[in-house]
C-alpha cells in the first residue's frame, strides 16, 4: 500500500511538474530564460548610484541590483569599444578573435554566441551601437548605428529597410525600437535574446534637451587626483593624451561655439575641433538648436568673459564641471529609458523568466588622474559596471566581488539557455556565482591593450590583475614594467616595481603572468603580428 502510494505521488509530481511548465505543449520553450543584454558606451561605474551616488542618481539601473546582483570587480580584457564588443560576442580574448583595435574590421567568419542562440530556436534582435564596420550575424532583426552614430536625429543601418534617419534623441529612439519589437514584432512562442545597446554616454556627451538645464546648473565633486602630476608612474601615464585640461577640445567637448573659440584665439586643432561640433550640434533641427542655444549660449557668454583671467587651475576646474554636466546629463536619459524597458518586462510578466544584464563596453575616467577616456588597465577603465537580475536564481540585493570579465558573458548565456559552449571559448560561466557559489573561479585576470600609436596615445600594454596586485608591461616604443599594490594604493599612484620589499611578489606575478599568457594562448609572436598588422594596415 505504502509502495503504491509513493508511486502515485511520484507520478502526480511528474505530471504536475510537466504541466506547470508546458502551456500549449511548449514545454522546453517555457523554461529557457529570455536574455536582455543592456550595454551603454563608456558608462563609468562611478556614475551609477548602486556603486556610489556622489555624482548622480540612477534609480532605474539600480533596480537591477536591488532585484539581483551587483558585481563590484567586473572588468574588461581590452578597454576599448569595438574590441570589447568582439570579446563579448565571441567569448574570446582580442588576440584570438583578432579585433584588437577600433580600426581593423571584425572577422565575421567567426562563431558568435547570438548565432548559436538563433540556431537553438531563440529569436534574436539587436538595437543600437555595434561599431564593428560590418553587420552582426545571427540576428533575426537589427537596427544599428553606423560607426559611432549620432546623438540627435541619428541614422540607422537596418536589416529590413536599408538606411533610415529618425528624428529625435538617440537613447529614446533605441528604446522605442526595443519596446516596439517586444510589443509588436517578436514571436511570442520563442524565447528571446535582445541586445539593447546605447551610444550614450560616449563622447561628445550630448544630453537630451529635457536634461540639459538640470545638469548644467549643478556642481560636481572633484576626484582627489584631478591634478595628478603622474610622479611615481612610468612613461605611459605621462605621455597619454587624455587630460581634461590639455586634450579635451573646446567646441566638440565643452560646447563653446566655434566662433567664440576662434575669437578667444584657442584654435589649435586638438583644442578646438569645430568639426566635432558641426558633426553633432550641426545635426539638430532649428527647434532643437534653439532649445540647446537657450541654455548653452549663456554658458558660452560667461566663458567668453572669464577666459582671459582664468589660470590653469581654474580652467581645469571649469572644464571638469563642463565635462561632468554633459557626461552625467547624457546618462539621465539612459537611466530613464532602462526604466521604461524594465517596466515593460514587469508589466508583461516577462521579467520572471528573463536574465537582465546592465553593463558598459568599458569603464571611463571621470577626472581621476586628470583624465577622460579609457584604454589603460588602471582601475577606472579596466573595471566596468555589471548588474544582473534573474528571479529565482539570483538572490535579491546580493553582491559579488570576484574578478568577472566581459569574456564571461557568452559562456554564461549559453549555459543559461542550455546550449553547448564551444570548447574554444575562453570565458567562465557566471552561473555558479549567480547562485552564490564562489569557489573555483579565476583568481587572476588577463588584460591586453593594442591601439597605439593612435588617438589618446596610450601605449600598448598587457597585464595580470589579482585581487591584491597589478603587474603591467608597456611595450612597443618602451619596455617598462609597473607594479601596483591594489590594497595599499587603490588610486594606483605609486609604481613599486623596483621596491625591494616587493621582490618576491614581483617574481611570483611574473611567473603567473607567463602562465596566464600561455593559458589564453597569447605570445610574443602574436604581439608582433598585431604590431605588423598595425604598421602595414594603413592607418
Ligand atoms: C572617438 C573619440 C575618442 C574615443 C574613440 C574611441 N573622439 O574617436 O575620444 O576614444 O572614439 O571610443 S571623438 O571626439 O570623435 O568623440 S570608443 O568607445 O568607440 O572606443
Ligand atoms: Ca566605449
- Taking CA atoms only, the protein residue closest to ligand 1 atom 1 is 203
Distance in angstroms (rounded) separating the CA atoms of residues 478 and 459: 8
Q: What DSSP designation does 386 have? A: E
What distance in angstroms lies between residue 202's CA and the mean position of ligand 2's atoms? 7
- Burial of residue 9 (CB within 10 Å: 0-12, 13-18, 19+) is exposed
User: What's the average model confidence in pLDDT over 244-268?
Assistant: 93
What cell was used for 181? 519589437
What cell was used for 17? 511538474
CB of 101 shorter than 6 A to ligand 1: no
Which numbered ligand comes closest to the C-alpha of 80?
1
Nearest atom (ligand 1) to Cα of 242: 9
User: What per-residue confidence (pLDDT) applies to 85?
Assistant: 98
Please tell me the least confidently modeled range out of 16-20, 183-187, 330-334, 456-460.
16-20
Distance in angstroms (rounded) separating the CA atoms of residues 153 and 151: 7
DSSP structure string for 399-445: EE-S--BGGGHHHHHHHHTTPPPPTT------HHHHTT--TT--SEE
User: What per-residue confidence (pLDDT) applies to 30?
Assistant: 53
What cell was used for 530? 598585431
User: What's the average model confidence in pLDDT over 77-92?
Assistant: 98
Average pLDDT, rounded, for the chain? 94
User: What's the average model confidence in pLDDT over 215-221?
Assistant: 98
User: What per-residue confidence (pLDDT) applies to 273?
Assistant: 84
Which of the four pLDDT bands, split at 50, 70 and 90, describes residue 493? very high
User: What per-residue confidence (pLDDT) applies to 388?
Assistant: 99
Give span(s): CATH 3.40.720.10, the chain: 31-204+334-438
User: What's the average model confidence in pLDDT over 427-449?
Assistant: 97
What distance in angstroms lies between residue 70's CA and the mean position of ligand 2's atoms? 21
User: What per-residue confidence (pLDDT) applies to 250?
Assistant: 94
Please tell me the least confidently modeled range out of 26-40, 203-217, 228-242, 381-395.
26-40
Closest C-alpha among 81, 64, 188 to residue 128? 81
Give span(s): CATH 3.30.1120.10, the chain: 449-535
Residue with grid cell 529597410, as numbered in its chain = 161
Which of the four pLDDT bands, split at 50, 70 and 90, describes residue 8? very low
127, 195 contact by CB (below 8 A):
yes
Which numbered ligand comes closest to the C-alpha of 363?
2
What distance in angstroms lies between residue 234's CA and the mean position of ligand 2's atoms? 25
- Taking CA atoms only, the protein residue closest to ligand 1 atom 12 is 81
Residues 279-314: tens digit of each pLDDT = 999 999 999 999 999 999 999 999 999 999 999 999
50, 58 contact by CB (below 8 A):
yes
Distance in angstroms (rounded) separating the CA atoms of residues 365 and 324: 11
pTM of the model: 0.94
Which residue of 246, 455, 456 sits with most ligand 1 atoms within 8 Å of its CB, as the best mutation to test the pocket?
455
Residues 116-125: tens digit of each pLDDT = 999 999 999 9
What cell was used for 316? 581645469
CB of 201 shorter than 6 A to ligand 1: no
Please tell me the least confidently modeled range out of 39-53, 77-91, 253-267, 366-380.
253-267
219 φ/ψ sector (left φ>0, alpha ψ -120 to 50, else beta): beta
Q: CATH assignment of 449-535, given 3.90.15.10, 3.40.50.720, 3.30.1120.10, 3.40.50.300?
A: 3.30.1120.10
Which of the four pLDDT bands, split at 50, 70 and 90, describes residue 271? confident
Nearest atom (ligand 1) to Cα of 373: 10
**Assigned superfamily of 31-204+334-438:** Alkaline Phosphatase, subunit A (3.40.720.10)
Residue with grid cell 554564461, as numbered in its chain = 412
User: What's the average model confidence in pLDDT over 353-376?
Assistant: 98
Amino acid at each position: 500500500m505504502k509502495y503504491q502510494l509513493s508511486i502515485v505521488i511520484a507520478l502526480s509530481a511528474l505530471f504536475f511538474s510537466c504541466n506547470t511548465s508546458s502551456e500549449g505543449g511548449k514545454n522546453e520553450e517555457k523554461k529557457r530564460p529570455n536574455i536582455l543584454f543592456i550595454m551603454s558606451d563608456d558608462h563609468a561605474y562611478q556614475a551609477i548610484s548602486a556603486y556610489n551616488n556622489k555624482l548622480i542618481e540612477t534609480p532605474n539601473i539600480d533596480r537591477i541590483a536591488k532585484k539581483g546582483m551587483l558585481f563590484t570587480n567586473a572588468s574588461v580584457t581590452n578597454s576599448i569599444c569595438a574590441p570589447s564588443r568582439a570579446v563579448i560576442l565571441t567569448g574570446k580574448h582580442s588576440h584570438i578573435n583578432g579585433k584588437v583595435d577600433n580600426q581593423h574590421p571584425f572577422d565575421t567568419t567567426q562563431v558568435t554566441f547570438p548565432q548559436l542562440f538563433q540556431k537553438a530556436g531563440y529569436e534574436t534582435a539587436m538595437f543600437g551601437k555595434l561599431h564593428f564596420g560590418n553587420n552582426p550575424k545571427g540576428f533575426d532583426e537589427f537596427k544599428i548605428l553606423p560607426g559611432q552614430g549620432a546623438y540627435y536625429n541619428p541614422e540607422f543601418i537596418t536589416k529590413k529597410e536599408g538606411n533610415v534617419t529618425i528624428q529625435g534623441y538617440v537613447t529614446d529612439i533605441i528604446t522605442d525600437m526595443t519596446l516596439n519589437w517586444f510589443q509588436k514584432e517578436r514571436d511570442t512562442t520563442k524565447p528571446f535574446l535582445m541586445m539593447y545597446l546605447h551610444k550614450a554616454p560616449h563622447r561628445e556627451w550630448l544630453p537630451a534637451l529635457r536634461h540639459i538645464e538640470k545638469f548644467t546648473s549643478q556642481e560636481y565633486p572633484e576626484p582627489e587626483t584631478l591634478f595628478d602630476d603622474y610622479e611615481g608612474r612610468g612613461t605611459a601615464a605621462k605621455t597619454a593624451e587624455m587630460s581634461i585640461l590639455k586634450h579635451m577640445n573646446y567646441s566638440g567637448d565643452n560646447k563653446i561655439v566655434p566662433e567664440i573659440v576662434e575669437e578667444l584665439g584657442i584654435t589649435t586643432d586638438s583644442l578646438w575641433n569645430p568639426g566635432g561640433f558641426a558633426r553633432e550640434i550641426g545635426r539638430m533641427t532649428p527647434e532643437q538648436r534653439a532649445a540647446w542655444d537657450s541654455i548653452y549660449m549663456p554658458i558660452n557668454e560667461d566663458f567668453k568673459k572669464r577666459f582671459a583671467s582664468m589660470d590653469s587651475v581654474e580652467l581645469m576646474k571649469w572644464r571638469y564641471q563642463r565635462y561632468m554636466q554633459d557626461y552625467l546629463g547624457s546618462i539621465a536619459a539612459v537611466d530613464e529609458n532602462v526604466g521604461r524597458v524594465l517596466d515593460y518586462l514587469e508589466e508583461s510578466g516577462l521579467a520572471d523568466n528573463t536574465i537582465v544584464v546592465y553593463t558598459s563596453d568599458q569603464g571611463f575616467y571621470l577626472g581621476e588622474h586628470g583624465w577622460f577616456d579609457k584604454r589603460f588597465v588602471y582601475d577606472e577603465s579596466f573595471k566596468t559596471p555589471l548588474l544582473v537580475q534573474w528571479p529565482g536564481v539570483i538572490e535579491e540585493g546580493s553582491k559579488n566581488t570576484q574578478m568577472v570579465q566581459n569574456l564571461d558573458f557568452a559562456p554564461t548565456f549559453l549555459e543559461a539557455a542550455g546550449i553547448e559552449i564551444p570548447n574554444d571559448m575562453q570565458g567562465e560561466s557566471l552561473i555558479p556565482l549567480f547562485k552564490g557559489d564562489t569557489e573555483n573561479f579565476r583568481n587572476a585576470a588577463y588584460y591586453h591593450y593594442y591601439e597605439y600609436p593612435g588617438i589618446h596615445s596610450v601605449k600598448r600594454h598587457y597585464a595580470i590583475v589579482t585581487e591584491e596586485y597589478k603587474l603591467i608591461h608597456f611595450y612597443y616604443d618602451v619596455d617598462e614594467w609597473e607594479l601596483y599594490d591594489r590594497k595599499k594604493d587603490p588610486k594606483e599612484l605609486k609604481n613599486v616595481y623596483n621596491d625591494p620589499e616587493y621582490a618576491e611578489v614581483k617574481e611570483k606575478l611574473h611567473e603567473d603572468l607567463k602562465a596566464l599568457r600561455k593559458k589564453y594562448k597569447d605570445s610574443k609572436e602574436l604581439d608582433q603580428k598585431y604590431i605588423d598588422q598595425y604598421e602595414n594596415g594603413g592607418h
